[in-house]
Amino acid sequence: MKPTSSGQLSFIRPYKPLLIVLSGPSGAGKDAVLYRMKVSGYALKYVITATTRQQRPNETNGMDYYFVTVEQFHDMLQKSELLEWAEVYGHWYGIPKAEVRKALDMGQDVIVKIDVQGAATIKKMIPNAVFIFLVSTSKDDLALRLRQRHTESSADMALRLNAADDEMNQISRFDYVVVNHWDKIDQAVADIIGIIRAEKCRVVPREITL
């Protein structure tokens, strides 16, 4: 609080950029939710994950993921260019550190999409980040979403569904949970935006140190 020229008090809230971590089981709709947020024009820095998995037909390199070879990925590791990395379902995933730091230094809110294992790693490194867990309405719904992607074999799908049980047990480590209802993706987007707006109203802002 500080006095104005008229002697009245005004409140100027100190601005602190946020790091938002969006996670949840495979098939919960994280990619779809982030895409809808992008096209809605909501002002966030969307950091793209580097991965060694094969590019899917509907994906664009440099927009959905940075698709790299295993050799390129390990070179990034050796050069300490990744904020976090993990092997998931036989493929490597990692968050480029430079993009996150640059955006935060410029005062931009940053959102990263990551698996539950990676979110736990970031939680240890940056506990003041905002952790959001995205879920579908049921395991049957999750299985349906995975089948409709047409990108997993039966064995891979079974692996992801089994992993989902363990991942759901990690919800208590997150700050918020958002349910992505079938055909109601705009509601999930609105919930995430509402969380970010609420965080901006905290009496004591989160301070991200990277």
**pLDDT for 46-98, tens place per residue?**
998 899 999 988 889 988 899 999 999 999 999 999 998 988 878 999 999 98
Distance from C-alpha of 31 to C-alpha of 53, rounded to nearest angstrom = 15
Question: What does the pLDDT read at residue 67?
Answer: 96
The fraction of the chain above a pLDDT of 90, given in percent, is 53
Residue whose token pair is 């609080």: 1
Question: What does the pLDDT read at residue 11?
Answer: 64
Other C-beta atoms lying within 10 Å of the C-beta of residue 197 = 9
What is the average pLDDT score of the chain?
A: 86
Cα three-residue angle 107-113-114, rounded to 5 degrees: 125
Lowest mean pLDDT among 35-39, 42-46, 150-154, 206-210: 150-154
The fraction of the chain above a pLDDT of 70, given in percent, is 85
Lowest mean pLDDT among 15-29, 74-88, 137-151, 157-171: 137-151
Question: What does the pLDDT read at residue 71?
Answer: 96
Per the CB < 8 A criterion, the answer to whether 45 and 39 are in contact is no
Q: Does residue 44 surpass a pLDDT of 60?
A: yes
CA distance readout (Å), 10 to 3, 6, 13, 200: 6, 10, 10, 17
Q: What is 14-47+107-199's CATH superfamily?
A: P-loop containing nucleotide triphosphate hydrolases (3.40.50.300)
Distance from C-alpha of 88 to C-alpha of 50, rounded to nearest angstrom = 13
DSSP letter string over 98-134? Answer: HHHHHHHHTT--EEEE--HHHHHHHHHH-TTSEEEEE
Total number of residues shown for the chain:
210
| Residue (of 65, 40, 41) closest to 52 by Cα position | 65
> How does pLDDT run across 136-151, given as a tens digit for each residue?
887 676 667 667 766 6
> How does pLDDT run across 32-43, given as a tens digit for each residue?
899 999 998 888
SS3 196: helix
Distance from C-alpha of 108 to C-alpha of 45, rounded to nearest angstrom = 6
Cα three-residue angle 99-208-76, rounded to 5 degrees: 30
